[in-house]
Structure 1
Amino acid sequence: MRRYLVGGAVRDRLLGRPIVDHDHVVVGATPDDMLAQGFKPVGKDFPVFLHPDTGEEYALARTERKTGHGYHGFAFHADPGVTLEEDLARRDLTINAIAQGEDGTLVDPFHGQRDIGQRVLRHVSPAFVEDPVRLLRVARFAARFAPLGFHVAEETMALMRAMVADGEVDHLVPERVWAETRRALAEAQPSAFVRVLREAGALAVLFPEVDALYGVPQRAEYHPEIDTGVHLELVLDMAARLAPGDDLVGFCALCHDLGKACTPADVLPSHIGHEHSGVAPLRALAARLKVPTEHAALAELACREHLNAHRALELKPATVLRLLTKLDALRRPQRLEAFLTVCEADKRGRLGRAEAAYPQAEFLRAAREAAGAVGSSEFVERGLTGPAIGEAMERARVGAIATIPKPAAG
C-alpha cells in the first residue's frame, strides 16, 4: 500500500498558495485493507475513505470509462492493480495531476510542474472531452489563477469548443453549472470565468442572457469602455475586489445589467428602463440554474434599484426611505451592505474609474441608521394606535433622513 498527496494540495504548495484541502490517493490497496486500518468509508460511486485521525480523504486509485452523457455517465474501476499514473491520467488539468509521495518525491507524468512554471491550464488527455463539467472547471480555475498570469492552452480551448459543438455541454445539470459558477464568482478574477466560457462558445449555451451583453454599446460619457460585456467583466472583478469570496455579491454583479441586451437597436447607446427590462432575463437565468432564493431576490433588487442608489444624493427623503424599505434594510442591514457593494462595483467597474469615490453608499448607510433609530414606543406613549403608529413612524423616518448632510457627489 502506497499513499500519495494529490491534486490541489500539491499544486498550491508548488504555487506558494495556502493549502485548504489535503486529498490522497492510495495505490495497491483494497477496501478491506482500508477498513482494517481504521479508515471510514464515505464514497458512494467509488471507494473513498476518511482517515481515522485527520479526517482527510483517501481514495483508492481508480480508472474511469465513459458510458453515457454528462457528469454521471462514467463507470469507475478500482483495484490494487491500478497504478498511480493511471489514476492521475483521469484528472482534468496537468497542474492537478501531480502526486507527492510520503517521502516528498513528486510524481508528475503529465508535466504539471512545467505548466505551472509556464502558467498554462492544459488538459491531461483527450479523455478531457468526456466530462462537460471539466469545461466549467477550467473556466473556474482561470478565474482563480488569472491574477497569477495563467491562461488556457490553445489545444485545450480547441477541445472545449469541440465539446460545445458536439452538444456535450447540453447535458450539464443545473446544479453542477450553478455549483461551479458560484465558486467562480467567489474567485479573485471572475471575469476570466466569463471570458473563457465565451471563447469556448459555452457562454451562449449556458448563460445566453450574459452572452447577449457583448457588443451592445453604452454612452461613452458614462461608460468609456463602451461595450456592455466589457463593463460586466470590470464590474465582476471590482465586486471581487470589494467583497472577496462573496458569491452573493458576485451573482448580483453578474446580473445587474442584463436588461441592456433587451434595449431596442434604434435607441442605442441609451438604455432607458434597462433596470426594469432586466428582470425577466434574470428570473429566467435564476430559475434555469436553480439559484438560491436569496441570490435571486437580491440580484433582482440590484437590477431594479441600482440606478436609484447611484442617484441617492438627488432623491427626496421619502424616496430614500422607500428604497431602504424595498431592500428590507432596517431589519437586515447586511442585505443593504451587499446591495451597496454591488452598486459601488457597478460605478467603479468602468474604464478609468476604478478608484472613483462612491459617497452614495455612505449616505445610504447614514439614512438607514437615522430611519432605524425611529421606534414605535414614543408614538404609543402619545396614544396613537393601529395604522396611525405606522404612519407617524414613516413621517418621522422621512424627517430623520432629511436631516442627514449629503456628501459631495463622486
Structure 2
Amino acid sequence: MPSFQTYLVGGAVRDRLLGLPVQDRDWVVVGASPQDLLDAGYQPVGKDFPVFLHPDTHDEVALARTERKTAAGYHGFAFHAAPDVTLEQDLARRDLTINAMAEDAHGAIVDPHGGQRDLQDRVLRHVSPAFAEDPVRILRLARFAARFADFTVAPETVALMRAMVAAGEVDALVAERVWQELSRGLMEKQPSRMFAVLREAGALAKLLPEVEALFGVAQPEAHHPEIDTGVHLMMVLDQCARQGAPLTVRYACLCHDLGKGTTPPEELPRHIGHEQRSEELASLVSARWKVPADCRELAELVAREHTHVHQSSGFSAEARLRLMARCDAWRRPERFAELLWACECDARGRLRFENRDYPQRERLLADLRATQAVDLAAASAAAIARGAKGPDIGHAVMRARLAAMPA
C-alpha cells in the first residue's frame, strides 16, 4: 500500500458543500515523489509540474506543490513539488478561500483559510497576498462572481485587485487566457456580475476599454428606459443567460453597441451611424483577444445589422429579402438564426421590456424557411430558357424567392 495520502481539493469540495452537482474532481497527493507515483502505476501527463493519471479511475492527480513568482504575468512562476510539501502549503497557493479546501478519504474537511465560513457568508475572498502574483485570478474571481451571483467580493480583495491593475499586472495577460476566462464568464448564470467586478477593480478599462466607455453614455429614453448604454449592455447579457443563448450570441451581444461609446457628445443621446463603428470595434476586440471565427463573424454581423432587424417589422418583402441577402442567410442559415436571437436579447435587455414580444425574429425565420424551399435550379433554368445571362439569372432567383415570401 502506498504511504502517501490523496485529497479531493478545490471546486469539487466547494460545490459539494453548496449542494451543487460536482462536475470535475481535482486530487492532490501529499507525501509522495514522482517516482512513488510511477511505482504505484500512475501515468505521467504533466510538464510544468508533476501531474499523473490514477491507474484505475484515470482521474488527474497532482503532487502537492508550492509556487514562486519569477516574472510578470501568468507564466512567471516556478513550482516546487516534493514529499515534504504539506497539504496546507498547497492550499495556501490557491486563489480564493472557497477554493482552498480539501476533503480526505473519510469525508473530513481541511479548511485552513475559512472557506466554509465564506461559503456561508457568500463572500469571495483571496487566500493570501500571493493572489496578486497571478493576474488571471482577477478574471477568475470575476467569473466566479457571475456564477455565484449572490456572493459579494471582500473589500480587501477589491483593494488588492485595484493595486494589481495599478501595478500593470493585467497588461501582462496573454490573449488566450483572457478569452478563456471571458468566454466562460459570459456563459455563467449572471454575466453582468463579471463585468461589474472587472469595473470595480479597474480591469475592464484595461481589457475592454470599448465596453468601459459605454457606461454613462445616454440613449433615447423612449427606446431605452434604462438610458445608460452600459447598463443596457449588462441587461442584454443577462437576458442572454436567461434565454440560454450560446456563446456566439452572448459575445455578439457584448459587442453590438460598442460604437455608442464613440458618439460625439453633440450628437447624444442619438447614435446615428453607431452600427458601422460597432462593427469596426468588434473586429478590433476580436483581434486583440484572438476570439474564434464563429464568435467574431456573428459579432460583426449583429453590430452592423441589429437595428435593421429591429426595424424589419415595418419593412416590405423586398426590404426583408435584401436584409437576408446582406446577412448571407441562405448559405449561413444557422448564423442568421443566431443573429435574430441576439437581436431579441437586445430588444428585451431594457428596463421594463424584459418580457415583451419580439415578432421580428419569427417573421424573418418564416421568410427564411419559405425562401429556402424555392427550387433554385428550376428558377435558374427558366431564366436561361428566357435568354437570361450572368447577373440576370441571379435576379431571377431573387424574384422567385420574393414570390415565395409570406405576405
Q: Same fold (TM over 0.5)?
A: yes
- Aligned pairs for 1:361-400 (under 5 A) are 361-382=361-382, 384=384, 387=390, 388-400=392-404
- Alignment deviations for residues 207-246 of structure 1 (CA, whole Å, 9 cap, x no partner): 00110001100111111111101001000100111125x2
2:204 maps to what in 1? 203
In 1, distance between residues paired with 2:393 and 2:258? 40
Question: How many positions carry a matched residue from both structures?
Answer: 400
AA aligned to 1:394 is M
- My pick for the range that moved more, 391-400 or 57-66, is 391-400
In 1, distance between residues paired with 2:187 and 2:323? 27
Whether contact under 8 Å (1:317, 1:399) holds in the other structure is no
- Structure 2 alignment gaps of length 5 or more: none
- Aligned pairs for 1:39-58 (under 5 A) are 39-58=42-61
Superposition RMSD in Å = 1.3
In 2, distance between residues paired with 1:141 and 1:56? 24
Q: Return closer, same or farther for 1:200/1:3 CA change in 2, 3 Å cut-off.
A: same
In 1, distance between residues paired with 2:161 and 2:215? 20
AA aligned to 1:311 is Q
In 1, distance between residues paired with 2:345 and 2:362? 14
In 2, distance between residues paired with 1:243 and 1:325? 28
Selected match of 1:78 from 75, 78, 81: 81
User: How many percent identity over aligned positions?
Assistant: 58
**Structure 1 length as normaliser, TM-score?**
0.95
Selected match of 2:33 from 30, 35, 55: 30
Q: CA deviation at 1:50?
A: 1.5
Alignment partner of 2:215: what SS? coil
1:120 maps to what in 2? 123
Answer yes or no: is 1:88 the counterpart of 2:87. no
Alignment partner of 1:374: what SS? coil
- My pick for the range that moved more, 322-331 or 283-292, is 322-331
AA aligned to 2:72 is H
In 2, distance between residues paired with 1:275 and 1:380? 35
Whether contact under 8 Å (2:8, 2:104) holds in the other structure is yes
AA aligned to 1:348 is R
In 2, distance between residues paired with 1:51 and 1:319? 61
Q: Return closer, same or farther for 1:379/1:248 CA change in 2, 3 Å cut-off.
A: closer
Whether contact under 8 Å (2:380, 2:397) holds in the other structure is no
- Alignment deviations for residues 361-382 of structure 1 (CA, whole Å, 9 cap, x no partner): 0101001001111122323553
- Structure 1 alignment gaps of length 5 or more: 405-410
Answer yes or no: is 1:350 the counterpart of 2:350. yes
Q: CA deviation at 1:331?
A: 2.8
**Structure 2 length as normaliser, TM-score?**
0.96
Alignment partner of 2:148: what SS? helix
Alignment partner of 1:26: what SS? strand
Q: Return closer, same or farther for 1:280/1:380 CA change in 2, 3 Å cut-off.
A: closer
Alignment partner of 1:49: what SS? strand
In 1, distance between residues paired with 2:59 and 2:389? 59
In 1, distance between residues paired with 2:199 and 2:214? 11
Alignment partner of 2:103: what SS? strand
